[in-house]
């Protein structure tokens, strides 16, 4: 981690961050056999998508209380996180790491800086996890109950249930929603209330 640095992102970082995330998304889909090795989008195609999605991303980064951070290895951007803040709820809208830097603590470093404190009854947290069956352990360490098509956790069940019990006793709101991708364990989570404002932001990543 000594060669990695973290900083607040600037408006001028937004396009580079978007391209990093989209290329990582294409790599994730290729690794899962959802697209062929030659089907990753070209620079021109990514540029067209960027022009389409730019207003939405600019809106999210401009929300009061939102968190937009990048991680760099020297002069190269290797990860970023965008947490959009809504009334009574933070949603982790984007968290991407370059495949070359997977497993080096980039995601943890970004989340530690965006969410240094625990959630509160006044401000809950929501994560929408998509892609390969997600290791949800990292998110639970930040007081989040993630949303995913498949549950794959490394916490012991009794430890996780105790964490949930403490959060509920403290009145911390936790959004739970059945994922849009089919689950191998139907009914493994129950749908719960999710702020209506969040719905449109989800569509950005459901493009398997």
Does residue 207 sit within a domain?
no
Strands 76-86 and 67-73, bridge-based pairing:
antiparallel
Does residue 109 sit within a domain?
yes
Does residue 78 sit within a domain?
yes
Does residue 66 sit within a domain?
yes
Q: Say what the pTM is.
A: 0.71
Number of domains in the chain: 1
pLDDT per position as a tens digit, 57-87: 999 999 999 999 999 999 999 999 999 999 9
Does residue 46 sit within a domain?
yes
pLDDT per position as a tens digit, 35-48: 998 899 999 999 99
Task: Compute the half-sphere exposure of residue 56: CA atoms within 13 Å on the CB side of its CA.
Answer: 17
Domain of 142?
A: 4-202
Does residue 30 sit within a domain?
yes
CA angle 49, 55, 58 (to 5 degrees): 115
pLDDT per position as a tens digit, 156-203: 556 656 666 666 666 655 543 333 333 333 333 333 344 433 333 434
């Amino acid at each position: 981690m000594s060669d990695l640095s973290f900083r607040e992102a600037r408006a001028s970082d937004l396009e580079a961050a978007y391209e990093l995330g989209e290329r990582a998304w294409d790599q994730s889909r290729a690794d899962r056999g959802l697209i062929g090795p030659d089907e990753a989008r070209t620079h021109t195609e990514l540029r067209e998508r960027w022009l389409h999605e730019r207003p939405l991303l600019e809106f999210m980064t401009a929300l009061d209380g939102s968190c937009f951070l990048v991680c760099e290895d020297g002069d190269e951007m290797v990860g970023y996180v965008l947490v959009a803040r809504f009334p009574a709820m933070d949603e982790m809208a984007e968290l991407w790491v370059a495949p070359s830097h997977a497993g080096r603590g980039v995601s943890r470093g970004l989340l530690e800086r965006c969410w240094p404190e625990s959630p509160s009854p006044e401000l809950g947290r929501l994560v929408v996890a998509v892609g390969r069956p997600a290791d949800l352990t990292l998110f639970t360490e930040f007081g989040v109950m993630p949303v995913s098509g498949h549950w794959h956790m490394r916490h012991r069940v009794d430890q996780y249930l105790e964490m949930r019990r403490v959060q509920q006793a403290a009145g911390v709101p936790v959004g739970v929603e059945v994922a849009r991708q089919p689950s191998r364990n139907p009914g493994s989570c129950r749908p719960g209330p999710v702020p209506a404002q969040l719905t449109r932001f989800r569509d950005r990543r459901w493009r398997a």
